[in-house]
Amino acid sequence: MNSSVNRIVIVGGGTAGWLSAGIIAAEHFIAEHSASDAQSSQGFQLCLIESPDIPTIGVGEGTWPSMRSTLQKMGISETEFFRECSVSFKQGTQFYGWITGKDDTYAHPFTLPHKYSETNLAPHWQSVRDRVKFADAVCPQSRLFGDKLAPKNIATPEYAFNLNYGYHLDAGKFADFLRKHCVKKLGVVHISANMTAVNSSDNGDIVSVTTDSHGAIEGDLFIDCSGSQALLLGEHYGISLVSKKQYLFNDSALAAQVPYQNAEDPIQSCTLSTAQSAGWIWDIGLPSRRGIGHTYSTDHHTEEAARTELLNYIAATAGEQAAADANLRKITFDPGHREKFWHRNCVAIGMASGFIEPLEASALVLVELSATMIAEQLPANRQIMDLVAKRFNDKFLYRWDRIIDFLKLHYVLTRRRDSEYWIHNCETSSIPDSLQELLAIWQYQAPWHRDTSHIDEMFPSASFQYVLYGMGFTTQTDPMQRRADRETAKMAMSLFRENTQRTEQLINSLPTNRELIDKIYKYGFQKI
Amino acid sequence: MSNYVILSPSAHKNTKVITERGAVYGDQVKYAVTYPLEFRNIQSSYPIFFSKSSETGEFFPVALLGFENNENLFLSDTGWDAAYIPMMVERQPFLIGFQTSDEVEEGKKPVVSIDMDSPKVSEDQGEALFTEDEQPTEFLKSMMIRLEALHQGYEHNKGFIVSLAAIDLLEPFTLEITLDDGSTNQLLGFYTINEPKLAELDGDTLADLNTKGYLQPIYMAVASHARVRALIEKKNALLR
């Protein structure tokens, strides 16, 4: 039997389901299709079954810069996206209290250090480290988002930028927006129904899923976007979750939507991440409201204590009234990922594949990467699918390990000893071996291109630099020892100066995040 | 900086406007904003390109006058050397706006303002604006007619630009010119009609553009590119 893989069924909506549908449909269904065409055609079919009864979790409110090209490929107008999904610009993350817990801060901007492909500025920064923060020395972006400025102006074409950016968005509105686009423009068939049964063939593949209102839906490949329940991969196939709680302790979150005190209050153009006694608080500025939440470890904190810290933060940054009015939503999760993600003819994306604290907004980017790999390597037939599945599993297990290493890096460099949580985070047993090795190497050489073993690495080595040197890590390099470094030393000083000039120039020319968003509502971006 | 005030017979009975052209009167500019209703006249002397507003990101057509900032190659000691002067240059130092009013039927009353800080505004030379008995002079009357035409042209241009953008008919371009002395000038940040795309437009789209009066100006803009050569010649002449 040589059965072709033409019918794709996505189980579950939400941002994971609709983003996956859009990415796959943009790759395979670019020609216009009506819903009836898609069902009868011999070519690819893509349908998404969404329960009308299950609300989406909607926690992923921060994206990576990769979302720009993802949306562009799907044929989405950036202007419409801004207008319909409460979008603001995200240029990175500003961390508070992670080093000492007392008035310390550092930035992880999305833009790479100046001339990063040619020169590694990190060794040269060591000599000026007492005078200027690493991110400020090598890149204009941290100062820009410090001033709540936008990464571009209204005359910049859509998706283009002066400084690399991603988005903050309203996840609920985003899922609705993607649904409309997928159905109207990309030929995705939307089935509003509850799944009641999974039907297997003799060989163990899923042949169809039964729904309460649309009968059995047959398919060749089933994508599980059903959220943390993982109805197909987890419940049906019994692929278990591998807990990573020994490395990353946070397993609960309290989330709130907080209004601005004044309609004209500035909108942050980075995520704010403020360390607490047993976790950290995220603060995401949308044009209409802020999304604020506290993710913490239940082994180290009671819900009551976490709630108090969160309300204190809201009171301090949005006023007592906002704290009194805050409606907190509790989310619990087992930090970790499935043992594998693709099993037989079923692959999981989104929370069905795993979930970890949103410290570096890895949730949506994993959806993008997973759906893109499926779209690009969509097996032609069932025979080849097991090979594609193996590649997919290898790649995403590797990616999860890199995410865990990178998130853990934020914790292990702390000097905080004010609670068990921070003390436990620094214990060797809680640090993955792979990260311990990296830390050992970085004591003697700064991360750079040599640290990326894969061409499509999750985090660029620059991200490691920003966190390492932002948190005060010392690399004992002698920039004058290597011949190449001696030559670049002069170059480095002029690059630092160039960066300072460029920073001043951008600060003087870019609008604020709110000003630009208002202009997008009024005029929109041009395509060119 | 500009200092626009609403024009009135009482406040401006002694105000005069200098009609000569020259660098001292603020005419030393690289381009003048134009609009499709005057493209026919513009293309006889100037290349027409499109620029983008830094305030709104919206496109607007321009008549190119020079290759560098503050360079107007049409300006000489004897004035502005061209058969037609762009309306946006002609209208200076005036502006037209509309005020909501009960007096007129459409509810909008044209209001003319004057830039009192313009070097063209004087008390002792130039054309008077009002007569002794506070009536507009012939000069001001002819200016008002131009201002109204300008306003119409501006409104018409809005639809024109939206239509061009909707069918992706504009594209960025860089003009690199080499002068007789071997030096090169690069013109950045302008946009132009995408001619291959224009040639591929289907009948319905062309008919729609034609009905709205946009088709002719599109071809006028394309034809105007022939004026780039003349502009380069003017620049070369300065080197000799």
Beta carbons of A528 and B54 less than 8 Å apart: no
- Chain A, residues 325-354, CB within 8 A of chain B, namely none
Residue tagged 């508070």 (tokens)? A96
The 10s digit of each residue's pLDDT in A119-155 is 889 988 988 899 999 999 999 999 999 999 999 999 9
Count of CB atoms situated within 10 Å of the CB of B146:
14
Q: Determine the distance in angstroms separating the CA of B56 from the nearest CA of chain A, rounded to an integer.
A: 6
Q: Do A155 and B191 touch (CB under 8 A)?
A: no
* Residues in chain B whose Cβ is within 8 Å of chain A: 52-59, 165, 168, 170-172, 191
Coil, strand, or helix at residue B109? Answer: strand
Q: Across the interface, do A523 and B56 touch by the CB < 8 Å criterion? A: yes
- Inter-chain residue contact B165 with A526, CB threshold 8 Å: yes
- CA neighbor of A90 nearest in space, from A113, A108, A77: A108
**A523 at the B interface (CB within 8 A)?**
yes
pLDDT number for residue A451: 63
A321 touches chain B (CB under 8 A): no
DSSP string, B179-198: -TTS-EEEEEEEEEE-HHHH
Provide the phi-psi class of A69: left if phi over 0, else alpha when psi is between -120 and 50, else beta. alpha
Distance from C-alpha of A345 to C-alpha of A382, rounded to nearest angstrom: 8
Q: Which residues of chain B have pLDDT under 50?
A: none
Torsion of CA B119, B125, B127, B131, to 10 degrees: 120
Q: Which two tokens stand for residue A207?
A: 């042949």
Distance from CA of B228 to the nearest CA of A (A): 23
Domains of chain A from N-terminus onward: 7-61+170-243+335-400 (3.50.50.60), 109-163+432-508 (no CATH), 252-332 (3.30.70)
Q: For residue A106, how many other CB atoms are within 10 A of its CB?
A: 22
pLDDT over 90 for what percent of chain A? 82
Residues of chain A found within 8 Å of residue B59, distances taken between Cβ atoms: 526
Residues of B in contact with A156 (CB under 8 A): 57
A216 or A476, greater pLDDT:
A216
Question: How many percent of chain A have pLDDT more than 70?
Answer: 94
CA distance to partner chain A, nearest, from residue B58 (Å): 7
Residue B55: list chain A partners with CB under 8 A: 154
Which pLDDT score is estimated for B185?
85
Q: By the 8 A CB rule, do A234 and A242 touch?
A: no
Element (H, E) at B234: helix B227-239
The answer to whether A522 contacts B59, with C-beta atoms less than 8 Å apart, is: no
A508 interfacial to chain B (CB closer than 8 Å): no
Residue A56: both structure tokens together: 């989406």
∠ Cα A94 A99 A104 (to 5°): 60
Classify strands A241-243 and A336-338 as parallel, antiparallel or unpaired.
antiparallel
What single DSSP character describes residue A245?
Answer: T
In this model, does residue A521 exceed pLDDT 90?
yes
Among all residues of chain A, which has the CA nearest to that of B51? A155
- Sign (positive or negative) of CA dihedral A135, A139, A144, A149: negative
For A17, the enclosing helix (H) or strand (E) is: helix A14-28
Check CB contact under 8 Å for B56 and A528. Answer: no
Residue-wise pLDDT tens digits, A478-515: 666 677 667 778 888 899 999 999 999 999 999 999 99
Q: What is the pLDDT of residue B77?
A: 84
* pLDDT, tens digit (0-9, with 9 covering 90-100), for A17-42: 999 999 999 988 644 444 444 444 46
- Choose the closest CB to A528 out of B53, B58, B172: B172
Cis (ω within 30 of 0) for the bond into B93? Answer: yes
A315 touches chain B (CB under 8 A): no
Q: Mean of the pLDDT values across residues A93-98?
A: 98
Sort out which chain B residues have CB atoms less than 8 A from A78's CB and list them.
none
B57/A527 CB distance under 8 A:
no
Do residue B54 and residue A155 have CB atoms under 8 angstroms apart?
yes
Residue in B57, B168, B170 nearest the CB of A155: B57
**pTM: predicted TM-score of the whole model, two decimal places:** 0.89
For B3, how many CA atoms within 13 A lie in the half-sphere containing its CB?
A: 6
Cα of B127 to nearest chain A Cα, Å: 39
The size of chain A, in residues, is 528
Nearest residue of chain A to residue B170 (CA atoms): A528
Q: What is the distance between the alpha carbons of residues B15 and B13, in angstroms, rounded to a whole number?
A: 6
Residue B123 CA to residue B127 CA, distance in Å, equals 10
* pLDDT at A59 exceeding the cut of 80: no
> Is A155 in contact with B52 (Cβ distance < 8 A)?
yes
Query: Could you state, in order of their start, the residue ranges of all structural domains in chain B?
Result: 4-235
Q: Tens digits of per-residue pLDDT, B149-173?
A: 999 898 899 999 999 999 999 999 9
Q: Does A79 touch chain B (CB under 8 A)?
A: no
Q: What's the confidence (pLDDT) of residue A36? A: 47
Instruction: Name the least confident of A98-107, A437-446, A494-503, B92-101.
Output: B92-101
Please report the pLDDT score of residue A1 as a whole number: 46
The H or E element containing residue B59 is strand B59-64
Q: Which residue does chain B place closest to A522, by CA atoms?
A: B56
Which residues in chain B have their CB less than 8 angstroms from residue A519's CB?
A: 56-57
Question: Which whole number is the average pLDDT over A263-283?
Answer: 96
Amino acid A39: pLDDT: 45
Pairwise CB contact (< 8 Å): B55 & A154 = yes
Q: Average pLDDT, stretch A10-15?
A: 94
What pLDDT is recorded for position A19? 97
Q: How far apart are the C-alpha atoms of A468 and A126, rounded to whole Å?
A: 12
pLDDT of the residue at A488: 78
DSSP assignment of A459-520 equals S-HHHHHHHHHHTT------TTTSHHHHHHHHHHHHHHHHHHHHHHHHHHHPPBHHHHHHHH
**A165 interface with B at CB cutoff 8 Å:** no
Q: Which residue from A minimizes the CA distance to B161?
A: A526
For B53, name the nearest residue in chain A, comparing CA atoms only. Answer: A155
For every residue of A171-185, which 3-state class applies, written as one string? HHHHHHHHHHHHHHH
What per-residue string of b and e applies to A450-473 under the rule 16 or more CB within 10 Å gives b? ebbeeeeebbbbbbbbbbbbbbbb
CB contact under 8 A, B57 and A526: yes
| DSSP calls for A79-99 | HHHHHHTT-EEE-EEEEESSS
Confidence of residue A452 (pLDDT cuts 50, 70, 90): low
Q: Mean pLDDT over all residues of chain A?
A: 92
Question: Using CA atoms, how far apart are residues B167 and A340, in angstroms rounded to an integer?
Answer: 46
**B51 in helix, strand or coil?**
strand
| Chain B interface includes A77 (CB < 8 A) | no
Res. A179: pLDDT tops 50:
yes
- A146 at the B interface (CB within 8 A)? no
Nearest 5°: the CA angle A95, A97, A102 is 145
Q: Are A154 and B56 in contact (CB under 8 A)?
A: yes
